[in-house]
Structure 1
Amino acid sequence: MQRGLAVYQFLAYALSGLETLTSKYGDPIEIPCNKGQFKESDVTLVKWKYDKDGNILVKQLDQNATISTDVNYKNRVSIKKDFSLIITQVTMADQRTFTCMVVWKEDILEYPVQLTIYKVPSRLQITNLTTAMAIGKPTMLAQCRTEGASPAANITWFKNKTPLMTDGAAVKINTNVDVDETRLSTTTSTLEYTAVKGDIDTKFTCQVQHIWSANMDSSPLVFTVNYATEKVNLQVVSQGPFKEGDNVTLKCTADGNPPPSSYSFYIDGEKKTVDSNIYTLTNVTRENTGDYKCSLVDNEDIAASVPITVEYLDVVLSTTGKIVKKLGESLEVTVDVKASGAAQTSWKKGNAKLNSLPKFDKLTYSDSGMYECVVSMAGLKETRTFELVVEGPPVIKNLIKERGEGMTKVLKCVAEGSPKPTVQWSVNGTSVILSSVLLLEYIYTFIYTISPVLYAMGFSFHENSKQMELNMTLYLITVVEDVTMDKQDQKDEYGDQTTLAVGIVVGLMLAVLAIGLAYWLYMKKSRQGSWKTGEKEDGSAEESKKLEESQSQKADV
């Protein structure tokens, strides 16, 4: 029964085909005998052999295994209880058929097993690498190599991640596989390529493919693509617009690779060859305006040009510096502008903008000031200035009496003149200190403050300048009158003292009348046009009339 089963199993094995095992190079391998289905007590003898005549070991019942003297296996094999064969550190020489022969009862059975060894390739190597390729010329770019593989590795070239195939024209790939004495393979692939201009910055890679390992890729290979110059370009490096005195730098570039190391520049029609692609024009003038050209040194037909304009702006103002004119005179101001383009002109007087060129048909004091002419164009600006001073005789514009703080009165004399008038005030023939305020550039207010004093006083002043001296007499001003009016305005505040104040005021008014009459009589005899208290002066008929009118008005009060 058991014998029939064994025969059946052998026949089934034979029909199923040869069993195959795969092992990695250098690893140990266990080769089973009939998949370990024999019992040790049922087997009389087991023998392992390889190929046809190679003996490895023999194991008899209840005895230790006997290992043959075969140099390939005597130190690398052993047998297990289930009759499996153990081989350590397998090599490519172990890639063969191993047979387990079993004496089972009275039958002899054999179980062959085919052992396959694989080995992953070493890391790829790039050799014979070139650096540049010329357009239209076949160039051997590089060689990709990997060693020690089983089975042999495959190599594929890529251009920008797209596989390359030999086309017999632009692409030629030559791949060789060499097997050494250890049965390991070395694969070498060489790429020959004919470049075009579009291959600038193209990335080539080599990839090693093996059935028992992941793909290995080389680093991207980028080659310089050399080609002849077909076009040059000339550009102005310096930032414009350019004005006289600037430096202008020109740069000539070519589309060839490598680019030319020298160029010819044409400056004012003169050819200048330099070992650079830069040429600088220094301290340019308006005469440097024109077209500039550069070309290849060995081929003047491959050239480029660029226009350069040197902007200029000339401004001549007919009036400069400080101009002194008389009141009422005329002044003509002209500005002459010569420029390389359209220029804009603006005027200012001080900080105020003027709408046009100033015209002075009849000068006034208000025309005095600092004038500024600004002419601008294309980044250029020229400024011209002049100072106008209008001088004239002093003129008294107004005499003003105002209420001051408390009981004081303020006398103001408004005078016009240039240069500034010199004004003197006097009280009863005595000069007093006064303050002045500048209203405009040519109008001044001279101020004197009168304190409340119970006596009448007169004032006069005169102005000194280059042109003339004039005197003018103020009308009699009585502080007493003003004090009286202040008292009347405040009668509600003082209550019971009102009656006493009125009496005092009436008495003072009578005193003023007496003084006014004496003054009138005195002015009758006076011959001069000004009056000072305590002095004898003759007054004009007009002044007398004004004084009479003034005193009459006060008497009516």
Structure 2
Amino acid sequence: MYLTLPLQDVFTNTLYLQSCLLLCVLVSALETVTSKYGDTIEIPCNNGRVVEAEVTFVKWKYDKDGNILVKHRDQNATVSNDVNYKNRVSIKDFGLVITQVAMADQRTFTCMVVVEEDILEYPVQLAIYKVPSQPQITNLTTVMAIGKPTTLAQCHSEGANPAANITWFKNKTPLVTDGAAIKIITNVDVDEETGLSTTTSTLEYTAVKGDIDAKFTCQVQHIKSANMDSSPLVFTVNYPTEKVNLQVVSQGPFKEGDNVTLKCTADGNPPPSSYNFFINGEEKTVDSSMYTLTSVTRENTGEYKCSLVDNEDIVASIPITVEYLDVVLSSTGKIVKKLGESLEMTVDVKASGAPQTSWKKGNTKLNSLPKFHKLTYSDSGVYECIVSMAGLKKTQTFELVVEGSPVIKNLIKARGEGMTKVLKCAAEGFPKPTVQWSVNGSNVSLNDLLLNGLSSHPVVVFPLSPVVHKDEYSDQTILAVCIVVGLMLAVLAIGLAYWLYMKKFRQGSWKTGEKEDGSAEESKKLEENQSQKADV
């Protein structure tokens, strides 16, 4: 299908198209010069391609009717009285020089040149730019609540041309208005006097729990400067408590008499200022997160809880065990028993766990609980029962004393240095016996027992002597008596009776040819004599 137009309309449309094409060519060919706000700028005439010899007249003007200056050949330039330029312009090589460039100078300037009989015009567009100021944060809030839209801050940058752009970031990721959680409002205001722009951006944000410790920044962007970032902004994020936690601050395990401190914490922000503690089933409201149990006993063993004051359904619990250890011996202190009697000790242990028990006699460790079927003197001593468990340790002691008449265990002779002999007498009893030696009726010290083998001594028996141990030596006869003196008067009576018996029947003598050590027969006779004395 074809559209038919009248011939006149076709001609009119053709002229209109030609005019548009000419205007487009002129606009696209318009030279542009850029200057920084406040600087001095030189606008060239025909980009400096003017031959001075051919020029008779140059005139600079702006827009349509604004005259700035005129210069004739071989004359100084004449500046017009235009208030906008009379004190700020000059001419240099036909170029227009403007000082203290302002936003009002952002317009088209035309250089009109008269050469011979022709007039030429060269229009130039002057563009002014100004770098914006650093980003400034105002109307800053410090707290935002989860799920609640909050105006966090305003970021603005002043004195720019063209106007600066502002972008918000969270953890270096740009924020974009989504109409729900993020809302960014940007305004540009132009100063009437300077013509410079101030850009202001307001961030409204709805926080989530993941925004804790998030860093927000605003960035100013401009075509004539590098991007400029504000200092990071960190906001406090408030959110309700969803969970509480109960922990024991004190170091365990716990024993009776210890203090036990509990601490209740919540995951909300801000945290609660008070909590409910449930102690042995009893509710206690405390204006603190801490609660201390003082001097705990085994009755304090159990489960403990804490909760929010206004919501006891949000609760936490923890078990606490108070360790205890009780040790009771069947007998303690000093226990006195007779020689040959029996003794059985028992120990009663009550504990919250599995204890370990050990026994010692003095510094010697025993394998088990001491049991005595027939007490001997060697059983006497201090016994210690040690029971330990979970940091607890209890010790119980008793002292066993075995009493009985003094008994000479044996009388032994041994070879000394040279021709000397050494006699040894071993005795036991409680109270502790006193041992005394006598040679030929004279008391001697231990050194006097080293006898010269060349001497001979008659046999002498003393009334107090319970036993005479005899032996023969070659070339000599020695009589030695070992007397054991007890603390009881009965010992004196026994010794006197024995002396009368020996005087009536016989006196002992040392026989020749016996071995150096006392024979088994002599030891047996010695024990029989001691038994007879004990029976008297």
The verdict on a shared fold, with TM-score over 0.5 as the criterion, is: yes
Instruction: Go from structure 1 to structure 2 and tell me whether the alpha carbon gap of 1:222 and 1:16 turns closer, same or farther (over 3 Å shift).
Output: closer
Instruction: Go from structure 1 to structure 2 and tell me whether the alpha carbon gap of 1:455 and 1:225 turns closer, same or farther (over 3 Å shift).
Output: same
Q: Which residue of 2 aligns with 1:165?
A: 176
Q: Which amino acid aligns with 1:395?
A: I
Q: Where do 1:133-212 residues align within 5 Å? A: 133-181=144-192, 182-212=194-224
Q: Which residue of 2 aligns with 1:487?
A: none
Q: Which amino acid aligns with 2:370?
A: P
Q: Deviation of residue 147 (structure 1)?
A: 0.9
Q: Which residue of 1 aligns with 2:107?
A: 96
Q: Deviation of residue 151 (structure 1)?
A: 0.7
Indicate the SS of the match to 1:307.
strand
User: In 1, are the aligned partners of 2:257 and 2:294 still within 8 Å (CA)?
Assistant: yes
Instruction: Go from structure 1 to structure 2 and tell me whether the alpha carbon gap of 1:450 and 1:548 turns closer, same or farther (over 3 Å shift).
Output: closer
1:433-485 deviations in Å (ceiling 9; x for gaps):
22xxxxxxxxxxxx755265853347989999xxxx724345466xxx7xxxx
Q: Deviation of residue 324 (structure 1)?
A: 3.0
Q: Which amino acid aligns with 1:123?
A: Q
Indicate the SS of the match to 1:472.
coil
Instruction: Go from structure 1 to structure 2 and tell me whether the alpha carbon gap of 1:450 and 1:298 turns closer, same or farther (over 3 Å shift).
Output: same
User: In 2, are the aligned partners of 1:427 and 1:459 still within 8 Å (CA)?
Assistant: no
Q: Where do 1:223-238 residues align within 5 Å? A: 223-238=235-250
Instruction: Go from structure 1 to structure 2 and tell me whether the alpha carbon gap of 1:357 and 1:126 turns closer, same or farther (over 3 Å shift).
Output: same
**Quick one: distance in 2 between partners of 1:381 and 1:325?**
29
Instruction: Go from structure 1 to structure 2 and tell me whether the alpha carbon gap of 1:422 and 1:90 turns closer, same or farther (over 3 Å shift).
Output: same
User: In 2, are the aligned partners of 1:232 and 1:302 still within 8 Å (CA)?
Assistant: yes
* TM-score normalized with structure 1 length: 0.77
Q: Which amino acid aligns with 1:543?
A: G
Q: Deviation of residue 333 (structure 1)?
A: 0.8
Instruction: Go from structure 1 to structure 2 and tell me whether the alpha carbon gap of 1:448 and 1:59 turns closer, same or farther (over 3 Å shift).
Output: farther
Q: Which residue of 1 aligns with 2:455?
A: 455
- Tell me which moved more, 366-375 or 312-321: 366-375
Q: Which residue of 2 aligns with 1:240?
A: 252
**Quick one: distance in 1 between partners of 2:471 and 2:71?**
161
Indicate the SS of the match to 1:366.
helix
User: In 1, are the aligned partners of 2:420 and 2:453 still within 8 Å (CA)?
Assistant: no
Q: Which residue of 2 aligns with 1:21?
A: 33
**Quick one: distance in 2 between partners of 1:127 and 1:302?**
40
Instruction: Go from structure 1 to structure 2 and tell me whether the alpha carbon gap of 1:372 and 1:389 turns closer, same or farther (over 3 Å shift).
Output: same
Q: Where do 1:253-272 residues align within 5 Å? A: 253-272=265-284
2:408 matched to 1:399?
A: no
User: In 2, are the aligned partners of 1:423 and 1:462 still within 8 Å (CA)?
Assistant: no
Gaps of 5+ in 2: 1-24, 479-495, 516-536
User: In 1, are the aligned partners of 2:144 and 2:207 still within 8 Å (CA)?
Assistant: yes
User: In 2, are the aligned partners of 1:208 and 1:215 still within 8 Å (CA)?
Assistant: yes
Q: Structure 1 vs Structure 2: percent identity of aligned residues?
A: 74
User: How many residues are treated as equivalent by the alignment?
Assistant: 471
Q: Deviation of residue 242 (structure 1)?
A: 1.6
User: In 2, are the aligned partners of 1:30 and 1:86 still within 8 Å (CA)?
Assistant: yes
Q: Where do 1:68-467 residues align within 5 Å? A: 68-80=80-92, 82-181=93-192, 182-392=194-404, 393-404=406-417, 409-434=421-446, 450=450, 452=452, 455-457=455-457
**Quick one: distance in 1 between partners of 2:91 and 2:419?**
141
**Quick one: distance in 2 between partners of 1:56 and 1:459?**
163
Instruction: Go from structure 1 to structure 2 and tell me whether the alpha carbon gap of 1:385 and 1:528 turns closer, same or farther (over 3 Å shift).
Output: closer
Indicate the SS of the match to 2:269.
coil
User: In 1, are the aligned partners of 2:41 and 2:101 still within 8 Å (CA)?
Assistant: yes
User: In 1, are the aligned partners of 2:413 and 2:421 still within 8 Å (CA)?
Assistant: no
**Quick one: distance in 2 between partners of 1:391 and 1:471?**
21
User: In 1, are the aligned partners of 2:338 and 2:403 still within 8 Å (CA)?
Assistant: yes
Q: Which residue of 1 aligns with 2:19?
A: none
Q: Deviation of residue 206 (structure 1)?
A: 1.1
Indicate the SS of the match to 1:71.
coil
Q: Which residue of 2 aligns with 1:470?
A: 466
User: In 2, are the aligned partners of 1:458 and 1:475 still within 8 Å (CA)?
Assistant: no
Instruction: Go from structure 1 to structure 2 and tell me whether the alpha carbon gap of 1:398 and 1:84 turns closer, same or farther (over 3 Å shift).
Output: farther
Q: Deviation of residue 314 (structure 1)?
A: 0.8
1:408-454 deviations in Å (ceiling 9; x for gaps):
554433334444431112333322222xxxxxxxxxxxx75526585
**Quick one: distance in 1 between partners of 2:213 and 2:254?**
38
**Quick one: distance in 2 between partners of 1:16 and 1:84?**
22
User: In 1, are the aligned partners of 2:165 and 2:199 still within 8 Å (CA)?
Assistant: yes
User: In 2, are the aligned partners of 1:461 and 1:473 still within 8 Å (CA)?
Assistant: no
Q: Which amino acid aligns with 1:401?
A: A
